[in-house]
Amino acid sequence: MKKILIISGIEKVFFKKIIKEKFYFLNHKRLNHNKLLKIIDEDSIIFSVASGFIIKKKILKKLKPHNLVNFHPGSTKYPGRDSSHFACYNNEKKFGAVVHYINYRIDSGPIIEELQKTIKKKNVNYKFYEKLSIECVKILFKKYFQKLKKSKKKIKISKKKWIKKKYKREDFLKMMRIKKNERPSELYRRIRSFYTPGRKSLYTISKNKKIYLNYESFK
């Protein structure tokens, strides 16, 4: 019997409703590779579900390729991190999630399915995209968990392809800086897509110092 590991940022109660046998739930923010190595064996199956944890090669080499699955909260146009922020900034009309096999490069493995939903509301912020992607992740997990768990080889894959461009952390950080002469339309896009209340996010530079901006400043 396969040892089931769930690495996720989603609440454990969601998985308990679906998985009826014993499984290991590992919060992606509190996990390290030494802990993971102590748990896995050659027949383990890892489901990375809306997780920011990057599985290293030494783990990938220990498991069979069909036992490494990721549920990515973002569409094939947005591999990597911060997908909801950039999808919002680009005003995407469709967004969702992808279930795919994990390989040695982040969000580049063979795609099993992409699920997207149409965004009909206007002027939504990145939190809306984020929530939508998690909803799609949950739908895909419910659909594929049993099939992937029982499979002895890779199941039929989609013809969908990842785009080559991956947004990097430095791309995200660049969007945090607001220039003094920023156009109002661009400023509004940045607020919707990158401003997080209660956290240091958007800022401007004054006298060589960062001045973090409050949403009230933009009214």
Phi first, then psi: what are they for 136, rounded to 5°? -70, -40
Q: What pLDDT shows up at residue 113?
A: 97
Give the C-alpha separation, 110 to 159, whole Å: 9
Amino acid present at 80: G
For residue 84, give both structure tokens.
């909801």
pLDDT of residue 216: 58
Topology, domain 4-150: Rossmann fold (3.40.50)
pLDDT, one tens digit for every residue, the chain (219 residues):
899 999 999 999 999 999 999 999 999 999 999 999 999 999 999 999 999 999 999 999 999 999 999 999 999 999 998 999 999 999 999 999 999 999 988 899 999 999 999 999 998 999 999 999 999 999 999 999 999 999 999 999 999 999 978 888 999 999 999 998 999 999 999 999 999 988 899 999 998 999 998 865 444
Task: Give this prediction's pTM.
Answer: 0.93
Alpha-carbon distance of 116 to 130, in angstroms, equals 12
Query: How far apart are alpha carbons 47 and 50 in whole angstroms?
Result: 10
Locate CATH 3.40.50.170 in the chain. Answer: 4-150
